[in-house]
Chains A and B, each alone.
Chain A
Amino acid sequence: MSLEEYRTDMETCRRCSPCKFIPFEKVTGFDHVNVCPSIAKYEFHSYSGGGRMVMGTALLEKRLNYTPKLQEIIYNCHMCGGCDTSCKYSMDMEVIEPINEIRIEAVESGHSNPALDKVINNLRKNGTMVPGAKAKRGDWARDLNLRDFTKEKVDVIFHAGCQTSFNPDMWKLAQGTAGLLQKAGVNFGIGGASELCCGGRAFQMGYKTDFMKQAESHMAAIKKSGVKTLVTGCAECYFAFKVLYDRFNLKGDLEILHTSEYLARLIKEGRLRPNKNVDITVTYHDPCHLGRQGEPYIHWEGKEVIDKVRTFDPPKERRRGTHGVYDPPRDVLKSIPGLKLIEMERIKEYAWCCGSGGGVTYSNPEFASWTGVERIKEAEQTGAGAIATACPWCVRQFKEAVSRKGSHLKVYDIVELLEKAV
């Protein structure tokens, strides 16, 4: 796809502004109506989904040049997809995909963001999206004696992902997951030192070529192993494998599961038995790339039919956030004895972003932090003692936000809580 191919979508925008808000059927009061961090923070319409649609058509028609301001708008977006879901409550048009294409066009025309260039250079050089990491990929599994899926026959691949692998603070998430899988008797393997970056972040930052390279290498290794199921605890990796790889016809019949889905399945099958009390009240944060953006990619090939109205043959279905992964992480939490789950106001398909997506952590850490603090404030209002989530990037962002705000909230990945109970 190219930006031009989204022209009709962008021209379908009516400037009605629901892209700025949570779906209005779910508004229960004055507070927490915003869904888009970008417009909420920067206020000008230009930062909203609607503003970006106008920007896209203006770029196509050369009415806009890549001024520093334009680039600043382009990169001050978490790519969280809140605008897309809220728009598609009513409309039949793509929003987040053309926004992504604007970034790809910017990169390909030489108007990338220098901070993101550094991240990508690091990916090219060191194979990771975590610049400055001192750890080595696979260090988290040192001494655990786990199988290597590239060398041994296993049923399941556990993919740790860059943030978990290169941030020693997150090693416990991968180690916890490995422990739970072992307890459940799963025959799994890891990539260890040869695990590759999924490339998903690179794609959403606009570096399509780098993404494709990562994706092709990755799938070649997986295909060679013959493994049919991949499990990951990273929402961004999950999105990349499940949605992006499928979009570019790379996924094949590989089953992609998020840790929460797999653990919920193991609990349901009785292979994991949470039986120790974990007396804690938590609220759950839906990672954008697991929730609304985690629904399967929908392939469509056909033609537009122009009669008195415009239709498609065959009918075109759109990803509206309806089939994201919302229940499995909640099922995992609910399975833990003593744990009380309280919901925030913005949940599931209209959850507020943690702030770490879209490369904003690197291009504008202040904005990423602001977004995270907004979420922590919302979580505090529930009265919970902790915020649980299901992605290392969210965990990292929330820890920073809690520290910055001086919040009493503890931050957990659901794996950590389940580990305590099993």
Chain B
Amino acid sequence: MALKRDFYKALEDILGPEYVSDDPAITETYAFPVRKGIAVTPRFEAITLPNSTEQVQAAIKLCNKYEVQYKASSTGWLYSDPWGPNCVKIDLRRMNKIIEINEKSLYAVVEPYVVGGQLQAECMKRGLNCNLTGAGANCSALPMAAHVNLGHLSQSGSYGERNLLALEWVTPDGEIVRLGSLGSIDEWFCGDGPGPSLRGIVRGNTTPLGGLGVYTKAAQKLYPWPGPSTFPMEGISPKYKPAYVPPGFLVRYFSFKDLDTMIDAVLKIGEAEIATELMCFNAAMMASNMATKNMEEEIEIYNKFRDSVLGPGFMVLIAANSAGDFEYKKQVLQIIIDELQGKPLPEVEDPENQGGYIWRYVRETGSIKETGRVLAPSAGMVGGGDCLPLMSYFIKSCSKVKEQYIKDGLLFDDGTAPFLQSTEHGHMGHGEVLSRISVKAKDPAAVGNQINDASNRIAITEHFGVPQHVWSDTLHDLYGPHASNYHLWLRKIKKTFDPNGASESGNYITVKE
């Protein structure tokens, strides 16, 4: 479906002709990489590259006027494709400035295409750190950009929903709205006032994933960083190693005889507030993170790890503020591990490996390895987000599904239960059925769907609440009736703020009745 020429010309007038293209060479290459045999999804009619909030606003108003849909994304890993025709892409790549890092009030303000690695590096120079989305330092640092914004640092650095402060939002019909303190006194320090707060509307349980206008600037909380301003990494990619492990840092991996015991340990570490990071990675993910040579090396490491672990386990990272603090945290960790008979993975403690693990976990550079390499899970299924104990029960139920699929030969046997992480020292938790679908599976997509269906069924029938990975009409309509009919309210929000249905919302909720 070709765009009207006067619409296209108007886009060029707004953005400059070099920053708009409807050439198939451009639009085709924006599609999520296509695998052989998998159906080709709709393509954007054009790609636009605005460089300011005002340009975004003008483009959105134009789309509303011409009844063309738009969908914005920044680094754009997932959820970036359109669900149908007549949609243009707003690629926020040129909006890439750090507006402010406020060292006194502990917040940073960024545009959407500042990536996590950039913001974190700048923060570290100032003795600060920011939460990064678990997908990695390559993703946007805007807390509204990467859906839930949970990451390795969320144990101590929370996540998007709670780190979000003031926000600049171009509504679906093109109004610029400044939320929180920005709406009244031009300051970024608070998301809820003095000034208008629409936090629940603009964000909700996840984020609208491009379906409710465009977020053009946002502030987020920062946290103290006790480490060096730059990590002393040496060597050549991918074999980086630190010259030394900075004092006060350690990383450990512990496995436990069963899931219950591991969850107890997670809860106790959270209560003690000793961990900077805690992620219930399985042995395969630990191997993926470490391997640098090839798949076979990764498999060799995994086989070693698999034979060494008792069962489910987690990575725990301590970054202490002083020698005394470090000693205290180490001792508390040891007491908890001793009590619950956790078994360490010696390779992680090895001084040669430890520094590399620490930096990869802090900078979150291992995420792609952990989720994209040979043993890593290719399928992140329904992910729950609620209080940690509830999520641990959710994971326990889901583990039965995973076990069955492993038995049936449809999943790679990574030897463990679904993934769990605690956030804010155990105040909240997140669970996800990470698994690798067998390369030999005849219909991988069907296996993924079956696991999703099973996990959704568990979430509903066992009353685990609405997961964080709910991103379509189908799923909202599935969960809504079991959760105060929230889907009806969500749809009303969509209708109210997007009267023309201009903001493409295939990954959010549409106005359909």
Contact = CB atoms under 8 A, between A and B. Distances in A.
Interface in A27-48: 27-30, 33, 43-46
B374 interface: yes
Interface string A40-72: 000111100011111101100101110101100
A30 B122 CA distance: 6
Interface in B355-387: 359-360, 363-366, 368-369, 372-375
B374 A311 contact: yes
B17 to A, nearest CB: 13
Given A15-B77, A25-B363, A324-B236, A70 B25 contact: yes
Contacts, number: 215
A54 B33 contact: yes
A301 to B, nearest CB: 15
B118 A312 contact: no
A316 B294 contact: yes
A15 B33 contact: yes
A214 to B, nearest CB: 31
A98 interface: no
A21 B294 contact: no
Given A24-B136, A25-B359, A27-B137, A85 B237 contact: yes
B51 to A, nearest CB: 9
For chain B, what secondary structure do more than half of its interface residues adopt (helix, strand, loop), or is it mixed? loop
B505 interface: no
A14 interface: yes
B78 to A, nearest CB: 8
Given A30-B98, A89-B365, A307-B439, A315 B297 contact: yes
Contacts of A55: 25, 28-29
A64 B33 contact: no
Contacts of B374: 92, 309-311
Contacts of A25: 231, 233, 237, 240, 359-360, 363, 365
B379 to A, nearest CB: 13
A320 interface: yes
B91 interface: yes
Given A89-B237, A308-B438, A63 B360 contact: no
Contact of B21 (A13, A18, A69): A69
Interface in B283-309: 292-297, 299
Nearest to A39: B93
B34 A90 contact: no
B272 interface: no
A64 B26 CA distance: 10
B200 interface: no
Contact of A46 (B29, B32, B33, B75): B29
B40 interface: yes
Contact of B115 (A33, A67, A312): A33
Contacts of B373: 90-92
Contacts of B122: 29-30
B512 interface: no
A46 B22 CA distance: 12
A317 B297 CA distance: 10
Contacts of B293: 317
B58 to A, nearest CB: 18
B98 A45 contact: no
B296 A69 contact: no
A52 B369 CA distance: 21
A29 B118 contact: yes
A7 interface: yes
Given A15-B76, A311-B299, A58 B117 contact: no
A50 B231 CA distance: 28
Nearest to B32: A15
A43 B49 contact: yes
Contacts of B466: none
A44 B47 CA distance: 8
Given A15-B77, A54-B28, A69-B25, A90 B233 contact: no
A172 interface: no
Interface residues of A, number: 66
B162 interface: no
B513 interface: no
A306 B440 CA distance: 7
A320 B238 contact: yes
Interface in B434-455: 436, 438-440
A51 B114 CA distance: 20
B294 A318 contact: yes
Nearest to A323: B236
Contacts of B115: 21, 33
B5 interface: no
B239 interface: yes
Contacts of B292: 320
A348 B233 CA distance: 14
B223 interface: no
A14 B31 CA distance: 11
Interface in B263-289: none
Given A306-B440, A308-B440, A30 B118 contact: yes
B393 interface: no
Given A25-B359, A350-B237, A14 B368 contact: yes
Contacts of A69: 21, 23, 25-26
Nearest to B35: A11
For A14, A17, A65, A320, the residue with the greatest tally of chain B CB atoms inside 10 Å of its CB is A17
A307 B36 contact: no
Nearest to A33: B118
Interface string A276-311: 000000000000000000000000000000111111
A86 B364 CA distance: 15
A355 interface: no
Contact of A57 (B34, B93, B230): B34
A86 B332 CA distance: 39
A54 B316 CA distance: 38
A16 B33 contact: no
A26 B35 CA distance: 31
A24 B25 contact: no
B236 A322 contact: yes
Nearest to A53: B33
Interface in A300-351: 306-312, 315-318, 320-324, 326, 348-350
Contacts of B491: none
30 contacts: A7-B36, A10-B33, A14-B372, A17-B75, A17-B77, A18-B368, A23-B238, A29-B118, A29-B121, A43-B19, A44-B29, A44-B47, A46-B26, A54-B29, A57-B33, A58-B29, A58-B34, A61-B34, A63-B24, A64-B24, A65-B24, A73-B29, A90-B368, A92-B294, A306-B440, A309-B299, A309-B375, A315-B294, A320-B238, A348-B236
Given A51-B29, A309-B412, 11 more contacts: A17-B77, A25-B359, A28-B230, A44-B29, A44-B47, A45-B76, A64-B24, A85-B237, A92-B295, A308-B412, A316-B296
